[in-house]
Structure 1
């Protein structure tokens, strides 16, 4: 067997390895689920999935002051990306910017009454899609182990 054939065989083994396949399944499932959620939220609530994520973050602790910078970090967006997103959300009356007390350079973001109402509708849509495509396909006995495993993966990634 010549070197090119050996390299081709090694390449095929690596590309078809269990680790590559399993990670690909995770990424593809997560991507398809995110697309389903985004489509449903846009159709039923005129809200993108990313906007929904902002409203989730703002709703977790209603009295918490959340800066635009913190939102960018939490959602892994660039500062220009979060600025454009908050601009669109402000234009749709979902959020408002308020000056940070004691720090003129920082801007806080808070939900409007309209934003909270849209979020509640969107949360029901989100729950329906997640139940159908994330919860229902997994055997009830396996679901807890599955989510515990995802939590452990996330923890390992944060700890490094």
Structure 2
């Protein structure tokens, strides 16, 4: 066997490995679930899944001051990406920017009454998709183990 064929065989073996397969399954499932959520939110509430994530953060602790920078960090967006997103959300009346007290360079973002109303509708649509495609396909005990395991993975990543 020539060296090129050995390299092809080795690459094929690695590409077909259990770890590559299992992680790929996780990514495919998460991506398809996110796509279903995004489609439902766009259809029923005219917002994207990313906009929903912003509204979650703003509505979770309504009295908390949340800067655009913190939102960008939470959502792993660039500063220009969060600026464009907040521009669109502000244009739709979902959020408003307010100056940060004591720091002229920083801008805070808060939900509007309209934004909170849209969030409540979106949360119901989100819950339906999650229930149907994330919870219902599993037995109760399997779902509990999955959630526990995902928590352990997240903790290992956070602590490293």
Distance in 2 separating the partners of 1:84 and 1:8: 44
1:84 aligned residue: 84
Residue 51 in 1 paired to residue 51 in 2? yes
State TM-score, norm by structure 2. 0.97
Mapped to 1, the partners of 2:86 and 2:5 lie a distance apart of 54
1:131-142 matched pairs, under 5 angstroms: 131-142=131-142
In 1, the alpha carbon distance for the partners of 2:153 and 2:59 equals 25
Secondary structure (helix, strand or coil) at the match of 1:50 reads helix
Larger deviation: 4-13 or 93-102?
4-13
SS in 1 for 2:76: coil
**Cα distance in 2 between the residues matched to 1:138 and 1:8:** 38
Deviations 1:109-141 (A, max 9, x none): 000000000000000000000000111111111
The equivalent residue for 1:104 is 104
Q: What are structure 2's unaligned runs of at least 5 residues? A: none
Tell me the SS of whatever aligns to 1:96.
strand
Say yes or no: does 1:24 pair with 2:30. Answer: no
Tell me the SS of whatever aligns to 1:122.
Answer: helix
CA distance in 2: counterparts of 1:145 and 1:107, whole angstroms: 41
**Aligned-partner SS, 1:137:** coil
Structure 1 residue 5, shift from structure 2 partner: 2.4
2:98 match: secondary structure = strand
CA distance in structure 1 between the aligned counterparts of 2:134 and 2:82, rounded to whole angstroms: 28
Q: Superposition pairs for residues 27-42 of structure 1, below 5 Å?
A: 27-42=27-42
Structure 1 residue 4: deviation in Å? 2.3
Corresponding position of 2:120: 120
How many pairs are equivalent?
160
1:4 alignment partner in structure 2:
4
* C-alpha RMSD of matched pairs (Å): 0.8
